[in-house]
Amino acid sequence: EAQVTQNPRYLITVTGKKLTVTCSQNMNHEYMSWYRQDPGLGLRQIYYSMNVEVTDKGDVPEGYKVSRKEKRNFPLILESPSPNQTSLYFCASSLSASQPQHFGDGTRLSIL
């Protein structure tokens, strides 16, 4: 089954403790992206990648890192999480910018 898989789905952690949210797709898609969704602010793009080893900043990249060492995986790294990064995070992928995006089911992060 074609899918985008995020882990974990839920995480409660504390300020400053490094964490990684994994994202994997099995569709051989070139493009992958991370978003955060906040009430009243909608979905905002954090980082995106157009191919292996090619990443670029979205609208809200501060406090996040990403890597794209292989096509199927695009982890989101929070080196020193802060409470303002409490949010619902989505990973998405597509074959190209002209093709529909496929979204994962989301990761709800709470940083205390």
Partner 1 sequence: KQEVTQIPAALSVPEGENLVLNCSFTDSAIYNLQWFRQDPGKGLTSLLLIQSSQREQTSGRLNASLDKSSGRSTLYIAASQPGDSATYLCAVGMDSSYKLIFGSGTRLLVRP
Residues lying near partner 1 in the complex (CB under 8 A): 4, 31, 33, 35, 40-45, 48, 50, 56, 58-59, 90, 92, 94, 96-106
Q: In the structure, how many helices (H) and strands (E) does the chain have?
A: 0, 11
* Nearest distance in Å: CB 104, partner 1: 5
Question: Which one, 79 or 92, has the nearer CB to partner 1?
Answer: 92
* Nearest distance in Å: CB 17, partner 1: 26
Question: Which one, 11 or 103, has the nearer CB to partner 1?
Answer: 103
Residue 5 and residue 102 in contact, taking contact as beta carbons nearer than 8 Å: no
Conformational region of residue 42, where left means phi above 0, alpha means psi within -120 to 50, and beta covers everything else: left
With 0-12 / 13-18 / 19 or more C-beta atoms within 10 angstroms meaning exposed / middle / buried, residue 1 is exposed
Question: Which one, 17 or 92, has the nearer CB to partner 1?
Answer: 92
* Nearest distance in Å: CB 32, partner 1: 9
